Structure formats: structure tokens, C-alpha cells
Structure 1
Amino acid sequence: MPELFTVEALLAATGGRAETLAAKSIGSISIDSRELGEDALFVAIKGDRFDGHDFVEAAFKNGAVAALVCKGGAGDGRILVPDALEGLRDLARAARQRSRGVVVGVTGSVGKTTTKEAIRVVLSAAGRTHASIKSFNNHWGVPLMLAGMPENADFGVFEMGMSAAGEITPLTQLVRPHIAVITTIAPAHLGAFDSIDGIAAAKAEIFAGVEPGGTAVLNIDHEQAHLLTAAANAFGVRIVTYGFAPGADWHVGRLETTGDGSVAEIHHDGAIHSLLLNVPGRHMVANAVAAMAVAKIAGVEPDVALTALAGFGAQPGRGQKLLLGPSDKPLLLVDESYNANTASMTAALDVFGSQKASNGRKVLVLGDMLELGTESGKLHASLAAAVNASGADRVYLVGTHMAALAEALGGGRVVAHTQTAVEMADILVNDLAYGDAVMVKGSKGVGLAGIVDKIRNRFA
């Protein structure tokens, strides 16, 4: 594996002390002793449930060549620093300082991981691209991803998340993006805010770290768009807009979407581009157009972006479609189990409405949307129209908050309603059959991924 940091550079960046360290360099960085790359540095951060220092020995047994620690001494391959998490941030700062690539930051209430992936796919077609994996977008995930950026990367793409005000500011000041993308604003984490406008203000913190001369790429298909443009202007950041709304710099015109894909006309700067995606949905088109806008700003021509996006697909837990069982009568599983709020629920239900069951029934499994505060009941009930419009034959609900949706749907519409995903799993899989189409969607904390796994195991 190529060298990421020499030990000399690592010690200089962190101010760490090492007494017996055989390694001369590291090739990767990890905070998980079970998942280590080649020539890995293990960083022993203390989390809410675990202390990484308890796993240092396991990390060495699994192949780590060094460990960044803040207790236990500086011997036996350990590098002692005052604070391991701050040491990781120091490495992130060092990686960003030496980089000559174009750096992109992505946030938003809905679609940030999928948009990040679309940007990664497009930029990878034009140069060496380093990007956040999974949803590593918090106070430890962002520095971990940034610290792992190779010096020769042409592009870096980093996702930034938050659950409260003030959390994005230190992340964006670490990443220092040249391009900052905000996908949309929706009532996610509403329990921590007085209003959706407060969420918009928290997302707009990303502009605090934008490099001089940088650009904001903003979706304008939501009511808080004017707040984001005002915030970008206040930070002196150039604005490029995208969306279905008239006047967007990257405007989505004619759109045709089916259960299998989307075709859209994208208008920009007097030209019309034909965007083909092998995933359906207006929201997926919007995510792809954000990637087109970022690519153009980064110096990548639209034709390169369009070709790359033609092979782009939905991610696990975020709309990934799986055909299970016999080819003549498969069960279609749409996995939306990773996250949910009213915007993403409505978008997913709209896409499911265009989906056909090959030879069976359309089945919905919906779990609680978490962290919605006092508006939770109202927001869950508001999904009733979208559920009915989806054409679902059978509806299963999981979680206490879904009681409001059950009431809004009316008697007889809900086949089963359980408090936990574990209770629902057997009920559901025993009712499914080959030929059915089933979509599973809810907040990650509800645990619907377990239901997805059970469906896959039963019908694969």
C-alpha cells in the first residue's frame, strides 16, 4: 500500500512521543481494531460505549503497525498524545494542508450520502478521488476520512452531518472545501430545533469553512432555499443552484421515470444534456444533477459526468433493489432501511408507486421516523396520502410513532403493527411470497435492517 504518512510526519503533526516503534510509515488509519488496512495506524479514541484503548492489543494482533494512544505509555508500538481524537484531527489537518486537490463538502437533511456517492463516481472518472465511506460524517468520522486522504489525490469528497446546531462548523473548518453542497432542508432531527429554519441555519454552517473563492452548490427545491443563499452571500461564497425550480442554474426539465430508471433533460448555460440513470425517482435525478454541477466547477466536462452517472446505482439501505429467488417469479426487495424523515419517505413512496410487482402484491414495511420532536405525530400521519398513492396492497408498521399513521390510514388498511422490528420480522416473512414487491423504510435506530436481512436469507 502507498505511504500515507511517514512516522516522522505523523509525530510532527500530532506532537506525539514514541519510544519503540519499528514502522517507518503508515499506509492507512482506522479506529476499529477489526477492520484494518495495510500498514495501519490504530487510533484509540474513546466513544460513547467503548474505549479504543481496550482494543490496542487486538489491533496489533490484526496487523496494525502502530497505535495512537493517550494513556498506557509510549512503548511497544504506541505513539502517546494528550488526546487520541485530537491527534486524529491533527492528522486530518496535516492531510488537508498538504493536499493540492479539489475538495468537496456535502451536507443536507436528505440525500447527502447518495449525492456524495454520485459526486465520487463522477470525479473518479476524471482523476484520483478520495471520498468518505459509508456515513462517516460526524465528529470522528470526518477527521478519520480526511486523515486518510492520499497526498496525490486530485479530488476529495467529504460528507458532513449533524444532529444539533454548531456541529458542522468544526467539521467544515477541518475539511475547508472548495465546493460546498447542500442537498435539501427537511424536518430531520427536528427535536433539537425550534423550526425547520433552524435546521437550515445549522446546515449553512458549512459555508464557514469554504476556501476563499469557493462555491456553494444549492438545491433550491425547498422553502428554505432563500435562507441558504442569504447565508452563502454573507460568507462571500459564490452560488450555483440546481433543481426542478424555474431559474435554477442546472435546471431539470422534462423527466421520465419508471420503476427501473430515469431519463431527464438538464438545462445549463444554454445547453441541454440528456441524463440517464438506472435508478428511478425525482430525488435521485436531483442528486445526480448536483454531481454534474460539482463536476463542472471542478473542471470535469458534462459528457464525462453523464457517462459516469449512467452506471450509478442506489446504495445499500438507500433504495437498493434486489431480485431474490427464481428469475421467472422473483421477489423484489427495495432496501430503504438506513434512514427516514418525511421528505425521504415521501420520495421513496413516490418511487414505489411506479414499481410493479412481477406476479404478486405490493408490500410496504414502514418504521418510525425518529428525532422529530413534538411534531412527530403530525408528521407520521401526514404520510397517509403518499402511502395510499403508492398502490401498496399490504402495509406493515413498526414503532410507537407509527400509531399516528395507522390512525390516519384507517381501519383495515394496516395488516400488522408491532413495537419492534424483531417482533415484525417473522410476521412479515411468513406472509411474503415470490412475485411480491416489498419496500422496507424507516430510521436506522428502528432496526429494519434486520428485517431486510431476514427477507434476504429466506428468499435468496
Structure 2
Amino acid sequence: MSPLWSADDLVLATAGVMRAPFAAEGVAIDSRRITPGDLFIALRDQRDGHDFVRDALQRGAAGALVDHLPPHLPEDAPLLVVEDTLRGLTALGAYGRVRARAKIVAVTGSVGKTSTKEMLRLILAGQTSVHAAEASYNNHWGVPLTLARLPPDAGAAVIEIGMNHAGEIAPLARITRPHAAIITAIAPAHLGHLGSLDAIAREKASILEGLPPEGVAILPAESAFLPLLRDVAGARRVITFAGAGDVPLLAFAGDAAGSDVKTTLGGREISFRLGAPGRHMAENALAALAAVAALGFDPIAAAAALAGFAGLAGRGARTRLSLPQGEITLLDESYNASPASVRAALAVLGMQAGRRLAVLGDMRELGAAGPAEHVALARDIAGNADQVFTAGPLMAGLFAAIPAALRGAHADSAAALAPLVLASLQEGDVVLVKGSFGSRMSLVIDAILREAR
């Protein structure tokens, strides 16, 4: 069996100088997660990856991509030397894409990117070999890394593309060169960096720049920015999803554990069970089915597979736990938050049976709109939560805006809030935990899980 990367291909892809020939079975950027045979990429972040080349080689790395020679290595150390390791990784990813035979779908959007990616991974796996990143590797190093790991003989690949600032999506879309591109939604996430919803829409639309002329743009039918997105798509084929789109949401019936959905695709009516609750999840599923059809796979079989989809850790995972206080249900939405995603999570909480607790941390990167966006959530709290716990200075505004009867507790941080939440838990509670990554609401999740052990 051929290696993922031969010595010749590594040199050809990166234009680097190989000091001792080696081939690689995989690609890694964290020396602690080396699998024997990996190529270790010495990137610079909070730490300089060159400081860990020796450790990576000792752990079994086949070789390392470097832009200078780290000290204390033997003369014959297997190194591939380039001018800059991030540019080297980007070149490796671009070459990996060029040689691949996979049908590729790229996914972006203000919310739902990772869930849609994971739906596609699941529903395509029954029809072909699928490649996708194991986490949200959707940035300037994550996308090239995912492409560098793409097996040349994979049948399909799903590439998630994200952004924090303007100008980040287009170059990633151009090296991805997808056959189909999904924009899940346009919503006020990263508003503080981009300044307006219009700017967010234009940045998300730039994923379409990576599509070839025969590529397919899969766009949200109910978005106010659909005309703009269509304009950027130009002469390319467009498939709209949800609402009254080309892949419409004809019927939706949600419950605590999932949803029953009806749509039409290619002139055929499709009814399916989705193993994750929430209208937003159903809309993500429609986008995924549109992509399956656009890539030439079977959407009927794909729809049937969606019954096996469940919420992801940090993104809607639903877990029953036994605590000293009794049995509770934990809804883990702790990975990230925006106004749209918090509203969707609260709607799911509202479907649950039992005392419903919303534990919310600050939504970051909203800029001057932040205080008002937090207070505006008070309308969504009503009818969906029985008690609310909040953490952070922005959530303090929401806490003050809700009725006193709903106020559980507020704290300056997730760490300070966690014991207050634990002290309040009762048998039968359903607990939603959500906040931006920087709010560290995972600390509340961790505290609850420790009680369950």
C-alpha cells in the first residue's frame, strides 16, 4: 500500500529540501498526538513547533517540516526544509487537493457548519469512503491540514471553512476547489470584527469563489441575503434549501430527542427521521441532502442514515446523567454561541420534559451590538426556560432583563457559576449549557460530569 505522502511528492508539493528521504503515512501539528509514520509540521503559534521536533521524532514521526534546523538533532534527521512552515503546509494541502479524486463539498455559515459537516460525513459514509477533519479545523491552518490528510483515493471529502475577519474564506475556498459549497446561514456572529450583517454575508459568499463554473452553490432559501449570494454565484447552478426552497422544509415535527422531516428532492418526496432535535438541525440536514444530490450520490439512502445522527460534544450532545441529586439530562452546547444559535438551543430546551435550566455565558465578538443582543434573548427565555443562570459581563444584562422568578444566579465567570448551578440541580432537571468558546462554559460541563462519576 502506498504511503499518504511519498518523499518525491513531499518535495514536489512544498519545493522544500529533504535532508534525509522519508515518506509519511499521516500529517500532524501536535507532537503529543503523533501517530508513528506521521509528518510533523513545525508551526508557530503560542509556542514554536520547532521546539518539539525532537519530541515528535522520538514519538515515531517519519520526519518533520521545518523552516530552520532545530538544535540538538543528528545530521541525518529526517527533515524537509522550507522557507516558512505555514506556507509549506498550505502548499501541501493545495497539492493534496489537486491529486485527489474525491467529490468535495465545502461548508461555511454563521451557524451550523460543524453539525452539517458531521451529517455529511455520516450520510456519505454509507455510499463511499469519506474524509473530513475530526474537529473544527476550519481556519488558515485547519483547512490546509485537512486537505494534506486527504487520501488520494477517497470518494468524498467534506471541508469546513470558517472565519473571524474579512478576507479569510476566499483563499481557503480557492485551495479547496469544491464541487459544491454550502452556506448554512447568515447571522450576527463575529459582528464585532466585520461590522455589519452585509459584510458577514459578503465574506460567507466568498466561499463561492472556489467553485468551478460547473460547481453547485447550496444556499439558504429564507435568508434576506439570498439575492446577494445568488449574485456572487453568478452562472453557477444554485440549489436553495429550507423554507420554500428547491429542497423545502415541507413538514417538521420536533420532540426532545429528534425531528421528523419531510422534503422533496429531484421530484421525489422524502420523509426521514433526524436523530437530533431542533428546526435548525432539520435545515442543516436539508442542506446536506442537497449536497449529496449535487455530488451525484443517493439522497434517499442519505436521508435514511440521518436517523443515526446525534448532537456533538459542545454542539448539542444530549446525555442522561446520574448525580447525587438524581437523574438529569445535560444538553451540551458549550463550544460556541451567537444570537441565532442561542435562540435555536433555547427552542430545543423548550421541547424538553422536566424543569428546564438555561446556563448561558457571554456571546463574544459582537462588538457594539453585544449588550443589546444579550438583552434581546429575554424574549426567547420566556416559555423555554424555568430558571436561568448566567456568567460574564454581557450576560449580566440579560439576567437583569428577565423576570425575577426565572433568575437562578449570575457570576462573573463560568468557574464561579459552576458550583451555583450544581447546588441548584434537582431530580428530572434538563440543563442547557451554552456560551462562546472564550466564555469557557465547558467548565460548567466538566463540573457536572465530575459529579456524575
Pairwise same-fold verdict (TM > 0.5):
yes
8 Å CA contact 1:207, 1:237 repeated in 2? no
Equivalence for 2:311 = 314
Look up the equivalent residue of 1:202 and give its one-letter code: E
Look up the equivalent residue of 2:378 and give its one-letter code: A
Residue 434 (str. 1) matches residue 433 (str. 2): no
| Partner Cα separation in structure 1 for residue 201 and residue 64 of structure 2 | 39
Write the mapping of 1:281-360 to structure 2, written as runs, cut at 5 A: 281-325=278-322, 330-357=327-354
Match of 1:288, SS?
helix
Equivalence for 2:448 = 455
Residue 238 (str. 1) matches residue 237 (str. 2): yes
8 Å CA contact 2:39, 2:63 repeated in 1? yes
Q: Any stretches of 5+ residues in structure 2 without a counterpart?
A: none
Equivalence for 1:125 = 126
Ranges of 4+ aligned residues in structure 1 off by more than 6 Å = none
| Partner Cα separation in structure 1 for residue 406 and residue 152 of structure 2 | 56
| Partner Cα separation in structure 1 for residue 302 and residue 124 of structure 2 | 8
Residue 44 (str. 1) matches residue 42 (str. 2): yes
Write the mapping of 1:204-223 to structure 2, written as runs, cut at 5 A: 204-223=205-224
Aligned length: 449
Look up the equivalent residue of 1:375 and give its one-letter code: A
Residue 33 (str. 1) matches residue 31 (str. 2): yes
Residue 258 (str. 1) matches residue 252 (str. 2): no
8 Å CA contact 1:260, 1:280 repeated in 2? yes
Q: Normalising to structure 2: TM-score of the pair?
A: 0.96
Residue 168 (str. 1) matches residue 162 (str. 2): no
| Partner Cα separation in structure 2 for residue 411 and residue 439 of structure 1 | 19
Indicate the percent of aligned positions where both proteins have the same amino acid: 40
Instruction: Give CA deviations for 1:221-278 in whole Å, capped at 9, x if unaligned.
Output: 2222222112112xx321000012x2x0000111111111100111234321102112
8 Å CA contact 1:278, 1:311 repeated in 2? yes
Larger CA deviation: 299-308 vs 315-324: 299-308
| Partner Cα separation in structure 2 for residue 250 and residue 308 of structure 1 | 18
8 Å CA contact 1:331, 1:459 repeated in 2? no
Look up the equivalent residue of 1:260 and give its one-letter code: A
Equivalence for 1:197 = 198
Larger CA deviation: 278-287 vs 428-437: 428-437
Instruction: Give CA deviations for 1:361-413 in whole Å, capped at 9, x if unaligned.
Output: 221100100000111111101100111120x2221001111122122214453
Give the superposition deviation at 1:63: 1.5
Q: Any stretches of 5+ residues in structure 1 without a counterpart?
A: none
Look up the equivalent residue of 1:239 and give its one-letter code: V
Match of 2:264, SS?
strand
8 Å CA contact 2:67, 2:85 repeated in 1? yes
Equivalence for 1:371 = 365
| Partner Cα separation in structure 1 for residue 2 and residue 124 of structure 2 | 21
Equivalence for 1:147 = 148
Larger CA deviation: 335-344 vs 123-132: 123-132
Instruction: Give CA deviations for 1:20-75 in whole Å, capped at 9, x if unaligned.
Output: 34x3x21100100011234100000111x111011111111221110000011684
